[in-house]
Amino acid sequence: MKRIAVFCGSSIGFSAVYANAAKQLGHYFAQHNIGLVYGGGKIGMMGILADTLLENNGEVIGVIPNLLRHEEVAHTKITKMIVTKKMSKRKVTISRLVDGYIALAGGFGTLDELFEALTLGQLGIENKPVGILNTNGFFNHTLKQLDVMVTEGYLKETNRNMLQVSNSVEELIEKMANYQAPLVSKVVNTVASK
């Protein structure tokens, strides 16, 4: 994989384990020549990830919508910043640049981006791997919710299993590199089957 989009918090979180995970991922990307595409911020997990890559001569491309481009938020030292007019255009721009997606700990923005990537895969619009780095079991409840969706007939098990999960950076990237997209129907308005 040449470039990967990473979705992660604009906040830093209360525990240092999450910032450390962002640093680990940044080091891995730099060492393996994987370019980072991300929200373009210098704050929170985003800033730590981008700075780690930059300190290790990695490529960092930010894609930021005009409305978030405040001086105190946007990173000014990255390899390239692409400014989009709208939030929706930003997502399309990111998807054109990358071979896969990873989510780290974050809030609404992170989950929104993660689930949009999964939805594109579910509809067969994209077949790129989507992974979460499950540091400290941060996403355990989210994963449990996905299981409930399967049990209650709202999500196909094959689509549930599109999401690659690991708490190790190496294992996650390996799983993503070996990812085979399911043969999915673009018709989603049917009863889920296993």
Q: Which of 1, 12, 68, 165 binds ligand AMP (CB under 6 A)?
A: 68
Q: Which is nearer to ligand AMP, 156 or 169 (CB)?
A: 169
Binding segment toward ligand AMP, per CB under 6 A, in 22-30, 36-44, 154-162, 168-176: 36-44
Q: Which of 2, 32, 88, 107 binds ligand AMP (CB under 6 A)?
A: 107
Q: Does 93 bind ligand AMP (CB under 6 A)?
A: no
How many residues at the interface with ligand AMP, by CB under 6 A?
18
Binding segment toward ligand AMP, per CB under 6 A, in 4-12, 122-130, 139-147, 154-162: 4-12
Binding segment toward ligand AMP, per CB under 6 A, in 12-20, 108-116, 123-131, 175-183: 108-116
Q: Which of 13, 26, 58, 106 binds ligand AMP (CB under 6 A)?
A: 106
Q: Which of 13, 26, 39, 131 binds ligand AMP (CB under 6 A)?
A: 39
Q: Are 27 and 123 in contact (CB under 8 A)?
A: no
Listing DSSP states for the chain in one string gives: --EEEEE--SS--SSHHHHHHHHHHHHHHHHTTPEEEE--BSSHHHHHHHHHHHHTT--EEEEEEGGG--TTTB-SSSSEEEEESSHHHHHHHHHHH-S-EEE-S--HHHHHHHHHHHHHHHTTS----EEEE-GGGTTHHHHHHHHHHHHTTSS-HHHHTTEEEESSHHHHHHHHHT-------S--SS----
Q: Does 167 bind ligand AMP (CB under 6 A)?
A: no
Residue given tokens 């999450």 in the structure block: 18
Residue given tokens 């190790």 in the structure block: 168
Q: Which of 34, 37, 47, 113 binds ligand AMP (CB under 6 A)?
A: 113
Residues that bind ligand AMP (CB under 6 A): 7-11, 39-41, 46, 64, 68, 73, 106-110, 113
